[in-house]
Structure 1
Amino acid sequence: MYRLTIPNVLVLVAGLSTLGHAAPQTFNTALPVAKGEFVVRQQFFYRRAEDDPTPANRELRVVGSISVLGRGGSRNLALFGVLPYLDKTIDLSSSAGRVSRSTRGIGDARVFGRYTLYQNDAKGRTFRIAPFVGIEMPTGDDHDRDSIGRLPAPLQLGSGSWDPFGGIILTYQTLGYQFDVQASYKINTEANGFEFGDEARLDASLQYRLWPRALEETGVPGYLYGVLETNLIDRRKNKLNGANDPDSGGTSWIFAPGVQYVTRRWILEGIVQLPLTQNLGGDALEDDYTIRVGFRFNF
């Protein structure tokens, strides 16, 4: 299985007092977006998967970007939209020799809302709990073809299905560090006789301020944070015409170190996702790594 999975990529910045703070890069945060304020995020990524147990010697490369727009609807409610652009290429060996198949374009968009259900603020810290719910819409092409024929469903830009998702986020933030945990579930529905397996995720992130160490320092333009994240992802098996695909599904555990440079209005960030374990079904293609870089700003 080599479908691109888009995480809940909108992570926003909210300050304690007037300070800027970091936030997760591979999932969401429970920190609020001010009413009437907009947040824009642009993330670019490169994903490589070449660990193929079959004689086909498959090599998958995905280059893309993820554009996010968020708006604070009220004191507790924030609304988000996510639109990916994808360039997918897979090389594999066949009876006719080495074959390359590719596609590029807009992927499936997401819209979701997040509501702050609980908050506990004190001097120099805050703790928040925020559930979220949304839907992934079939905006990407799911009937793309090349000279060989129709592309397999995992290589298509879109799924063709309407897929709801939801979850809950916990965020604990202080002046020196922030810790976030997210649990989420996505229900994938059937389209064109194919159904991706449902996906459950458990994510965690620690952001620690590296510079300046003392907040008493004046005149610094921003703050440098070190980031450590982990993603535990379990996917059910895909179904083709109602039958399970044995070469799909499974559990992956990912470790991701990164950095962020944070100012009051914008952030520069980068992170590398490295699989620690991949217990996948059958001959499913295993990931090697994913690199993500990007920026975000609010206005």
Structure 2
Amino acid sequence: MIHRISKMISVTTFCLLFLRVGIAVAAPVTFNTALPVAREEFLFRAQVKFLRSTDDPSGADRELTVWAVPIVAAYGITEKLALFGILPVLDKEIKLTVPVGRVSRGDAGIGDFTALTRYTIWKKDQPGRTLRLAPFITLEIPTGDDNETDSFGRLPQPLQMGSGSWDPSIGLVLTSQTLARQIDTSLSYTFNTKANNFEFGDAARFDFSYQHRVWPRVLGAGIQGFLYGVLESNLIWQDNNRVNGVEDGNSGGITWYLAPGIQYVTKRTVAEFTVQIPVVQDMNGTGLENDFITTLSFRMNF
């Protein structure tokens, strides 16, 4: 009887902590829009992303590698309103074959800063579960260098640290959370604008994340952390880029990633890892296809 009462108290305590999102809980790895932020709580996330692209139909044998370290900080203004700031540190390099031989081009530095505002318009809380719906708006601010050159001249715009343009996005995120699992879905559209006679194509994406607690299977006293299995999906469409007002037929397209991963969650911190694997890539013209994207991430609520 005493053991059962102790277990009930432990489970009840876990429920209370779980539904108070100031305590670190499971959350998506490959997108930020569903990160939980409680009122008057700060959230910090640092990620290390590695992208490699070698499937080149152009004949130039292009090999693109990108290291990105996005730093995310968020604050809960109220129970419903949260503000986010995202600043990436980037290192981009492409190797390709040109008439003079094999060359390497690229740059490293600070990328464009993104400000995001999210407001929960509806939620339903029940014992051991919650459901939330929140629209969000973002603005990408041109803080990165967008006019870097090398010995071959000005770097192509995709290799620049920044776009040089102010690019807004709108979206909607839905989160369903229970003691054993969590589901997040996010739908967004980005309106890319023109700078340096170049305009990235508008982009739409649908993100899905499922997190399932795999350990401990049974809740009890003395538990210090929780292990979650993660499966995420990212469906991304991008329109053609425009150069001097003319569409670039070798840009844009559709990509669908599946991303298996793992999360270890403690009271205030989360360590997580995923690999985004392209299941479908329908790139326009000679657009370069991605091999994979890995993400190693650390998150803290305080």
Secondary structure of the 2:147 match is coil
**Which blocks of at least 5 consecutive residues in structure 1 are unaligned?**
1-14
* Residue in 2 that maps onto 1:141: 145
Q: AA paired with 1:224? A: L
Q: AA paired with 1:262? A: V
CA distance in 1, matches of 2:261, 2:240: 31
Number of positions where the alignment pairs a residue of Structure 1 with one of Structure 2: 284
Task: Call closer, same or farther: CA 1:30–1:149 in 2, change over 3 Å.
Answer: closer
In the TM superposition, residue 21 of structure 1 has moved relative to its aligned partner by 2.5
* Residue in 1 that maps onto 2:168: 164
Matched, 1:181 2:185: yes
Secondary structure of the 2:258 match is strand
* Residue in 1 that maps onto 2:299: 296
* Residue in structure 2 matching 1:219, options 219, 222, 247: 222
* Residue in structure 2 matching 1:206, options 193, 206, 210: 210
* Residue in 2 that maps onto 1:280: 283
**Which blocks of at least 5 consecutive residues in structure 2 are unaligned?**
1-13, 19-23
Secondary structure of the 2:149 match is coil
* Residue in 2 that maps onto 1:3: none
Matched, 1:73 2:72: no
* Residue in 1 that maps onto 2:25: 21
* Residue in 2 that maps onto 1:119: 123
After superposition, give the CA deviation of every residue in 1:189-245 in whole Å (9 maximum; x if it has no partner): 000100000000001010000000001x22121000000000000000000001000
Matched, 1:38 2:42: yes
After superposition, give the CA deviation of every residue in 1:99-134 in whole Å (9 maximum; x if it has no partner): 000100000110010000100000111000000002
Greater share of helix: 2
CA distance in 2, matches of 1:80, 1:275: 28
Runs of 4 or more consecutive aligned structure 1 residues displaced over 2 Å after TM superposition: 28-32
Q: AA paired with 2:298? A: F
Q: Percent identity?
A: 53
CA distance in 2, matches of 1:194, 1:31: 32
Contact preservation (8 Å) 1:32, 1:116 = no
Secondary structure of the 1:154 match is helix
Secondary structure of the 1:172 match is strand
Structure showing greater Rg: 2
CA distance in 1, matches of 2:297, 2:144: 22
CA distance in 2, matches of 1:34, 1:200: 28
* Residue in structure 2 matching 1:47, options 48, 51, 57: 51
TM-score (ref. length: structure 1)? 0.93
TM-score (ref. length: structure 2)? 0.92
Secondary structure of the 2:16 match is coil
Contact preservation (8 Å) 1:30, 1:128 = no
* Residue in 1 that maps onto 2:10: none
**What is the root-mean-square deviation in Å for CA atoms of aligned residues?**
1.1
In the TM superposition, residue 34 of structure 1 has moved relative to its aligned partner by 2.0
* Residue in 1 that maps onto 2:274: 271
Contact preservation (8 Å) 1:29, 1:180 = no
